[in-house]
Chains A and B, each alone.
Chain A
Amino acid sequence: MALSRSTVSWLYVSPLMLVLIPFFVLPILVVLVASVFETDGFGGLIPTFTLANYGTVLTSGLTFNLYVETVKFTVLTWFFTLIIGFFVAYFLVFHVRNPLLAIGLFLICTVPFWTSNIIRMISWIPLLGKEGLINSALLRIGLIREPLEFLLYSSFAVVVAYVHQLTIFMIVPIFNSMARIDKRVVEAAIDAGASRFDIMRLIIVPLSKSGVALGSIFVASIVMGDFFVTKVMSGGGSASVVGAFYEDISVLQYPGAAASAIILTVVLLAMVSLILRTVDIRKEITR
């Protein structure tokens, strides 16, 4: 007997659901439940219903600062990855004449993505450190007398590490949408007398929107969910929401941590669905 089409489709997605339900839906629910419990102070949870944890998290000035810090890093990283990613993709798609060369250069950009993020992060240490390559070079040519302190273990270092890791998440989707722009559209614009700037503003930017959206989702969600670049590269000077969450967990403050995690997740999901509202990612990818 033939199965109905939707039954077949559900059979096909059932393995995916078998992963997503126990390893995404349930864990989030567990965290949600923990966020309304009380702690006995020793890592145990007392099953009650209280919103006190949310109250504590939301009224604490510390949390507010954490969010400000995290949002600051997210916005800075997003900005720089977008600018670099957009123009690198634009260069590869519209300026490199030899197609094989373009693909080769594109691959060069993507290779580091396949190597360890942590290693790529710590690889900045010998460069940015007090006795690092940059400081010693600047000292030698006499541009500075004292080594620059802000290079490593600072907000600067955090942003550098993020941009280094995440620009690729902008390049790939933007490259993809730019590569699909019909050349005849651009030619028609040139025929109509559009300048280079007009073409960029009226054609390339609007038609790359889906790539930008997808890249922004990747970058923003990774930065907001990360704790460990901030921790290492700021040298403990800056904290992040997830970093504080981790600290809470290690001192067994589950409910407070859970409340903060839920708030973060809600903020993140709201942001992503806002982006998804502007472009139909599913249609864009399958097109």
Chain B
Amino acid sequence: MADVRATKRALAPSRGSRPWTFYLLASLFTCYVIALYGPMICIYILSFQDVRGGLVFPMKGLSLHWFIDLFTQVRTGDVKGSFDRSIKLAILVTVITVVVSFMAAMAFRRRFPGDNIVFALMIGSLVAPGLVLGIGVGLLFNAIGIDTSPYGSALGAQLSWTLPFGVLVMFAVMSRFNPAWEEAAYDLGASAWQTIWLVFIPVLAPGLVAVALFGFTLSYDEFARTLQTAGPQNTLPLEIWSMTLNVTSPSLYALGTVTTIISFVIIGAALGTIVLIQKRRGARAT
């Protein structure tokens, strides 16, 4: 971030009035942020209506009716079950994504025969249409005779999407790792494993948390690849999707509010962990 700071000073010296472009771009930025958050905030507000509530403003009353409705009504489907499955699946995906991305980024620090093929496959997996891939996985499992299930086929299909992301992020994280640290550890007698545990992982910890955050939210939100691979039991995004097609009550908004709260808890935990790691490193100094 240091270079960001420096560049900025160059173009916007701290003295003198701001150029007209500043005001223009500031307005653009403000509009963008309003458009980004405005609609979401609307549905959060609308989810707190009472029993008379509808899908649009004005607000009708204030209650938790639709939240209770969400978890008790049959009509809204198995929200609780899909929540449970989605979170478990996301945790599984997160752990695998962190470990596998870390290992892949270790390999990609230097060239090796076939590295371009691996890289191309990864990019292909990232950009391939999710639904097509999902159906491919479904047909494949069908052909081999394995039932599709959230923790089998859906897990794999989601990994084919979270891993390329995770590896790309790990590339950026790894580019800040000085290769001399690894050599220094070797010089001082560390084995390959000791170097990973005592040098790589602690140095890259904040980056690994970022990859975990990616893995979790990409999985928790994944839809296209999961649709044909989750089997008879829905994950949360599939549940939300079927609700968008047949539920026309603020229950839908209530579900939006609940998932957003969960997302925010996860983001908060991840950012908190990163801050904690940085702080613990800084604390010993002063």
Contact = CB atoms under 8 A, between A and B. Distances in A.
- The answer to A–B direct touch (Cβ < 8 A) is yes
Interface of A: 5-6, 8-13, 15-17, 19-20, 22-31, 34, 84, 87-88, 90-97, 99, 102-103, 105, 108-109, 111-120, 122-127, 129, 131-133, 136, 164, 167, 176, 178-184, 186-187, 190, 196, 217, 221, 224-228, 232, 242, 245-246, 249, 254, 257, 261, 264-265, 268-269, 272, 276, 281-282, 285-287
Contacts of B244: 118, 122, 232
B32 to A, nearest CB: 6
B56 A133 contact: yes
Contacts of B43: 119, 122-123, 126
Contacts of A22: 140, 156
B253 to A, nearest CB: 8
A285 B256 contact: no
8 contacts: A6-B113, A24-B128, A27-B140, A31-B136, A91-B29, A95-B12, A103-B4, A133-B42
Contacts of A20: 118, 121-122, 125, 160, 163
B33 A108 contact: yes
Nearest to A225: B129
Given A95-B22, A119-B260, A178-B7, 10 more contacts: A12-B104, A88-B32, A112-B40, A119-B255, A179-B1, A181-B7, A196-B21, A221-B128, A242-B131, A285-B172
Contacts of A254: 139
Interface string B142-160: 0100000000000011011
Interface string B87-117: 0000000000001110110111010111100
Contacts of A120: 39-40
Contacts of B64: none
Contact of B8 (A11, A102, A187): A102
Interface string B3-15: 1111111111010
Contacts of B199: none
A254 to B, nearest CB: 8
B100 A16 contact: yes
A26 B56 contact: no
Contacts of B38: 127
Given A24-B133, A133-B57, A221-B127, A116 B33 contact: no
A217 B127 contact: yes
Given A16-B104, A126-B56, A286-B108, A179 B7 contact: yes
A227 B228 CA distance: 14
A10 B108 CA distance: 10
Contacts of B115: 9
A226 B245 CA distance: 17
Nearest to B103: A12
B35 interface: yes
Given A13-B118, A115-B263, A225-B224, A97 B14 contact: yes
B259 A119 contact: yes
Contact of B133 (A28, A94, A249): A28
B28 interface: yes
Contact of B221 (A92, A116, A176): A116
Contacts of A95: 8, 11-12, 18, 21-22, 25-26
Q: Which of A22, A84, A164, A184 has the most CB of B within 10 A?
A: A22
B217 A114 contact: yes
B185 interface: no
B266 interface: yes
A23 B156 contact: yes
Contacts of A5: 110, 112
Contacts of B5: 99
